[in-house]
Amino acid sequence: MKILVLPGDGIGPEITRATLEVLGALPVDLEFETRDIGLASLKTQGTTLPSEVLDRIPEVDGVILGPVSHYEYPAREKGGINPSAQLRVQFELYANIRPCRSRPAFSILRKPMDLVIVRENTEGFYSDRNMFAGSGEFMPDPDLALSVRKISARGASRIARAAFRLARQRRRKVTAVHKANVLKLSDGLFLREVRKVAQEFPDIELEELIVDATAALLIRNPDRFDVIVTTNMFGDILSDEASELAGSLGLGASINASDERCVAQAQHGSAPDIAGQNLANPTSLILSAAMLLDWYGQRTENSKLIAAAGRVERAVDVVLESPQTRTRDVGGSLNTDTFTAAVVDAVKKV
């Protein structure tokens, strides 16, 4: 499996290096190729996302993308392209898939959580990616700002189908989250398409919930959820909430996928305040990379890659069980390097 590695900004290079060490301990054939993006490539090539990187992505089997500091980038016309958004749009990575499973030692929940949020990734209120040309956000005058929310039948249908397929591998329930009581047209269209897709999966239960009720129920009754499917911004917010309730945003895995390509990406940001200090927790990117192996293994029917993904997940679970082998952000004392070494050791034993 050929993997393109894009370390990114801030703590990105540190947690990417840790992730590659863990993957390197697996008994599978993985080939890594690293290219600079973000502030590093802006300095040397005048752009945060060089064209040769974009050209290379269709030629590899998967991508590992480190966090990026796009708030610090210059305007797009001066080379400041958000790599995360650009990859999602250019390669139609329409599904952001985020599993949230609570660990007893970390979760504040009274009931266990084991769910997956399937978030539409290219439309909604995200003004930097929801238009073919221009931006979905604009100002007719200095004192008026407008934002367009884009929901298409195609976008809603394909994200719904991804959710129902995933539910078939789990507990066979999909919860469609919306705000159709207020956003009658746009969320109405989203629900229309979800209901159409549901007819193709008669073995899957479909539930519909308003987003604010969902936010509350994630706290009170997280065990009622299996697969949640929703629009872009709702999914972004709910998945961060669910990850924190399950333990920490730093422990959550995430992939951005189309039917043909997949990018593993940590749920959290670039944390420039601790960059270069060997303090970062690499768990999120490690688990995201495991999801990438599983995605490609499922797509190519490669049982070794699927097993390797499971091995990484079990190794992380083993290491996180003990307070002595956790990083500081989750109550331990290990730094990035020592935590990574513990996970590598566990990968070799589980």
From residue 51, alpha-carbon distances to 36, 57, 92, 100, 267 in Å are 11, 10, 17, 34, 25
Residue 111 appears among annotated catalytic residues:
no
CA 112 to chain centre: 21
**One-character DSSP codes across 47-101:** -SS-HHHHHHGGGSSEEEE----GGGS--GGGT---HHHHHHHHTT--EEEEEEE
Catalytic residue among 240, 317, 329, 345: 240
Residue 296 appears among annotated catalytic residues:
no
Catalytic residue among 9, 36, 73, 126: 126
Residue 240 appears among annotated catalytic residues:
yes
Catalytic residue among 226, 236, 294, 296: 236
Do 103 and 320 contact (CB within 8 A), yes or no? yes
| Largest interatomic CA distance in the chain | 63
Cross-strand pairs, 323: none
Catalytic residue among 71, 78, 212, 259: 212
Catalytic residue among 2, 114, 128, 179: 179
Residue 179 appears among annotated catalytic residues:
yes
Any idea which residues carry the catalytic annotation?
126, 179, 212, 236, 240
